[in-house]
Amino acid sequence: AQTVTQSQPEMSVQEAETVTLSCTYDTSESNYYLFWYKQPPSRQMILVIRQEAYKQQNATENRFSVNFQKAAKSFSLKISDSQLGDTAMYFCAFMKGGSQGNLIFGKGTKLSVKP
Partner 1 sequence: GAVVSQHPSWVICKSGTSVKIECRSLDFQATTMFWYRQFPKQSLMLMATSNEGSKATYEQGVEKDKFLINHASLTLSTLTVTSAHPEDSSFYICSAHEGPSSYEQYFGPGTRLTVT
Interacting residues with partner 1 (CB under 8 A): 33, 42-45, 47, 50, 52, 91, 95, 97-103, 105-108, 110
3-state secondary structure of 84: helix
Please report how close the Cβ of residue 20 comes to partner 1 at its closest, in angstroms.
Answer: 20
Expressed in angstroms, the distance from the first to the final Cα of the chain is 41
Looking at the Cβ atoms of 101 and 115, the one nearer to partner 1 is 101
**Of 72, 63, 8, 62, the residue nearest 34 (C-alpha):** 72
Q: How far is the CB of 31 from partner 1 (least distance, A)?
A: 10
Nearer to partner 1, 12 or 99 (CB): 99
User: Beta partners for 93?
Assistant: 35, 105
